Amino acid sequence: MKTTIILPLLLVLIVSTNLPANAQDEFPRGEIIEKVICKDKPDQSYVLYLPTTYSRNKEWPILFAFDPGAVGKRPVELFKPAAEKFGYIVVGSNNSKNGPYYIADQAIFAMWKDTRQRFSVDSHRIYATGFSGGARVASRFHLKTGNACAGIIACGAGVPEDFGDLGTLKPAAWYGIVGLSDFNYFELLGLETAFDHTSIIHQVDVIDAEHRWPPEEAVTRAVAWMEINAMKNNTRTKDDSLAQAIYQETLTRANNLELSGNIPFAVGAYDWAKRLFNGLLDTSFAEKKKNQLSESKAYKKFLEDENVRSQKTSYYIKNLGRVFNLIENSQKKQVSLDEIFQELQLPDLQKQAKKKKDIFNSGFAFRVMAGLSNTIYGKGSEYYRSADYGKAILCFGVSAYVEERTYYSAYNLACAYSLNKQAKPAIKALELAVKRGLNNPAQLDNDKDLDFIRNEKGYKEIRQKMGQGKSQ
């Protein structure tokens, strides 16, 4: 069984280097160093990017990044253009990942201590970012180090469930990024409302995306937002030309969205400009445009539809409880995967998700399916660990039906079928996993969960086609 979920990210080509821990002053600028070993914690390491202009003659803002799969290179590559543009040091943990927070805490402490020893860091310009579970880690950063964080960029998730008082984030400015198709969409919008009742500076940027690291454009916008807030609170030297340039870029983006007919996103972009530059520049134009579009029929219709989508989301969540009861009692009354699909209305949701021209309804359908899949996958893992494979099959079957971008759910479904001594469906699920990207013969060879089907003709054909394959 494969349990680690690593979401795909479009990578950019860059020069990468490994450097030993004693090379304090030998780090190249403008390149990504894939593994910097922490001097006092050799089991901890991070990926590093220093802007080409970096020198020890001045102090630099630093961004600590946390990936849910402990792939530090992902966020460093993603934030590299913004780091170069605005002059940031970026470090991405190779150890912090989804799981017990003590693992993330160890990474936080090790990175924090090591970067202070090696680099010239501006203590007033410490930032943290992360995606999904990594976003929750980022929100803990300054609480664990005891050093005030200037800003948090939370991508695809908010704060830990047991976080407590949001006011403890202060003085950090909080910037959330969430996709229309992200199952944490309402969590981020709810946090925005909660922050309205605090004195914490905040912003949520909704983009047309799924649950994954945001695109370069979005994270660069987030760093620009932090730069302007640093000017406003005097932790960064004011730069009128830079402020004007960012403001104009925002107005251009808002105007393009308006011209394309995407009024909700245009309203958001004008509001972004108005709120951010208020008190720094004349924002009357952005405010006027935002107010005008907010009164339009298109925007009012969007708000009505959004309210309906919110109500439907509550319905699907409640209905999931009925599905769990069906699965729990499936030994008493036979339940098929098709029945589960129909009960969750997955065929209808899938059709709606594929209508990409209507990004809001498509995003709604996608995030509902993703949320259902994520929740039911977790339940399936519990059944799997307790050797209740029949119920695990029903749960993993839902995830495999919904999750088409990765092979993990299909592979786990194959393992569950195999352990339940159902050879034909196990092979069919394994074929689906291969179709979705599985190409790791060593994983198949070493996974004892597949022993029941290892001598089956279908399994041998899959293994033969895979050949030596590639290690993943």
Name the residue with tokens 């290892």.
Answer: 454
- pLDDT tens string, the chain, 472 residues long: the values are 654 433 333 323 333 344 444 444 579 999 999 999 999 999 999 999 999 999 999 999 999 999 999 999 999 999 999 999 999 999 999 999 998 889 999 999 999 999 999 999 999 999 999 999 999 999 989 888 877 799 999 999 999 887 888 988 888 899 999 999 999 999 999 999 999 999 999 999 999 999 999 999 999 999 999 999 999 999 999 999 999 999 999 999 999 999 999 999 999 999 999 999 999 999 999 999 999 999 999 999 999 999 999 899 888 888 888 899 989 988 777 888 999 999 899 999 999 998 878 999 999 999 999 889 889 999 999 999 999 999 999 999 999 998 888 899 999 999 999 999 999 999 999 999 999 999 999 999 999 999 999 999 999 999 998 876 444 4
Q: State how far the Cα of 307 lies from the Cα of 146, in Å rounded to an integer.
A: 41
Q: State how far the Cα of 362 lies from the Cα of 269, in Å rounded to an integer.
A: 21
pTM of the model: 0.85
The residue type found at 303 is L
Q: Where are the alpha helices (DSSP H) in 260-296?
A: 263-277, 284-294
Torsion of CA 433, 435, 438, 442, to 10 degrees: 90
